[in-house]
Chains A and B, each alone.
Chain A
Amino acid sequence: MTRGVWGWITTVDHKRIGILYGVTAFVFLLVGGFEAALIRLQLARPDGAVVSAGTYNELFTMHGTTMVFLAVMPLNAAFFNYIVPLMLGARDVAFPRLNALSYWIFLFGSLFLNASFFVNAAPNAGWFGYANLTAKQFSPGANIDFWVISLQLLGVSSLIAGFNFIVTILNMRAPGMTFMRMPVFVWMTLVTQFLIVLAFPVITVGLILLLFDRFFGTNFYNPGAGGNPLLWQHLFWLFGHPEVYILILPAMGIVSEVLPTFARKPLFGYPVVVYSGMLIGLFGFGVWSHHMFTVGLGAVVDSAFAVGTMLIGIPTGVKIFNWIATLWGGRIRLTTALWFALGFIAMFLMGGLSGIMHASPPVDMQQQDSYFVVAHLHYVLVGGSLFGIFAGLYYWWPKMTGRMLSERAGRWNFWLMFVGFNVTFFPMHFLGLLGMPRRIYTYAGGLGWDLWNLVSTVGVFILALGILVFIGNAVASLRSAAPAPADPWDGRTLEWAVSSPPPEYNFRNIPTVHHRDELWALKAGRAPVEAAPPPPREIHLPPPSFYPIVVAAGVVLAATGALTHLALVVAGALVVVFGAYRWAFEYRSSLGGGLRPPSDASPRGLRGQSPRSSGPR
């Protein structure tokens, strides 16, 4: 293993890329949380003066964009990267270098977006960037340009990862792992990747049209020239609604792994949970206009989208019943991971119920653009996605770091976050019903909003305390916690069959799978224990490569050029072409004509190495 910073820069190991994703995304979770805290401080009292109106617009835009694209999606990606190949019984993803490219483009795109703060031009038109507020006429600064370009970069990163994981999951399952033996987390990852691959091109086109409007003077979203700003809304939400499921389905997968492990029962109704996940993904493409009930699309259209939206409640409800039934009669171990999973079920249920409320157009017309919707979406994305991610963090932390987290601190972490979350967001239901609109930077006193706004602001600091406890827990764990055994939770799936952390090559021999809960079956003697074949003399692993970061650097150089000088665009494009060609021919050692393979192109052989010891039990 190549060590040091260079080792991380050139790594193509899915586990290291997973850690890079996780650390980066966690930093942006803190950045987005800081923005949220500023928003709440501004709104704590009537006539707040913590930030200016302009800064406030930047804060809520960057908070939304950061949390969706730079925190929750890449935190999920961290688990996809680290856990999915292990669950599949694979040595890496299908395209290890593309995997590195996804990460570097994500990192550079995130930095590009946040660089806007330093030139005092942070995006300020909302995370949904509605036309024609984003037109040059109304947003003349570079704010929207930063937003458009970084979203394109992040989209490219997600798309590349999407192709990679579709192929990895379909094509790299261990022998015997039929589709209906795949862990539910892998299933939900697969559905998520299909959503990414089919939804992101739509926003790519929406952003291209906006880019042409802003840079080349077209009139796609200009009503003065016959253009229709609603086109943006359709393109945005045709992406945006599947995006909601891109954020939540992985959490559903995590919870479907955590619950059976700690209830010591197989997942109740596994096939139904899997099919429900697929249905949610499928229906997710047919409901985008429920974000647009107030634009006046007509009664027939509104009714159709209302029915479609309510239909999604069925597979979602089915999943919730299956999770509860999994717990029913189980020998439950109340670990922190399970607490977060239970919190997920309860909070996601509440978010789902308020979602069913505004699936009805007349109700939605009352709630649109009010704090009720803010409450709803945070119950789904924080109480849902983020709690699911924390369940995953506590569950897989020992596997990823080789250290245990403190369960005692974990309990504090969960309860502080749970209480803080509810104190912050539950009052927003009342605020919304009392008529408080979203995205206002201040309000007058005496409207009946003062108390709940103050309560909500207090809640943010409880929530932040919970996150701080997690950071403390994590640091203490990495510094001094007991080494984690290979299988600390009596796990069911293949990642627990290898040491913690796993060796670079994951599995000495690729396992053969006979059961859905393969490891349980093995431990209970229900799976045939085959005579272990002799370990392979040599395991081929892809060598490290620095072309992924070269190509990503070229991409971000071109993006910078779009805001500064055409010469940089050309230079960036040349770097991309150069990097792509070197990349394509990296392994073709037989190729003549100056395209020589790098000196380290020979696959590393891991001769006779035994897996690391799995530590004391």
Chain B
Amino acid sequence: MPADALIRLSARQACVRFGALEALGPIDLSVRAGECVVLLGPSGCGKSTLLAALAGLQAVASGSVQADAAGGSDIPGVVFQEPNLMNWATAQDNVALPLALAGVGKVERLGRAQKALNQVGLGSFSAAYPRTLSGGMRMRVALARALVNDPTALLLDEPFAAIDELGRRALDDLVLEAKRDQHLAVLFVTHSVDEAVYLADRILVLSPRPGRIMAEIAVPDVPRDPAFLTSPAFAEAAAAARRVLSAQLVAA
């Protein structure tokens, strides 16, 4: 198989089983550097499972998954549904955690953590404890933590579902900026069609369990700004995604 040098995340005929239950697959997928792929599908279809498998947190029953590093950290940045912050540590110490676990010295890791906090717009909150931050701010801390170890891939599992519309758009923009500036391969799980179209270069729609890729929808490469949200290109991609999803509902 000719290796694409830019592929950062890949799954080859990957299947996941929980005991007798087939949870996922087989799935083939690849995400290139600087590309955002969004997984869309009914709940329980294995989106999160696929993400966990790519993060190395879930073993595959057959096939293979790979998060490939080229230069950066070989551990992908991951943002889960909850911010999962250590409430006994400051925002800066929370962000610095991946570096601390990798054995990076204190001065360097705090400096890099501060930089990551600046990147998500929380530069002046480095000494704040999580309980003093709003839900959206906590998610920003989690995003900074996922970016701090200079990963080549970013995996996000419905991270902004609990956040209000405007806050969510701001966080989506941060993800897009990080993707562009750090040339990240981004795999994003969501159940919001609008969020999927806004973020994605490609949308993969999964089937109900065991999740398989039912359709791939390409989203035009136009600037992601408020105008995009009301453009025909946006409406077209969203309609295509909704068509595939409702076809599944009818089939089920």
- Do A and B come from the same complex? no
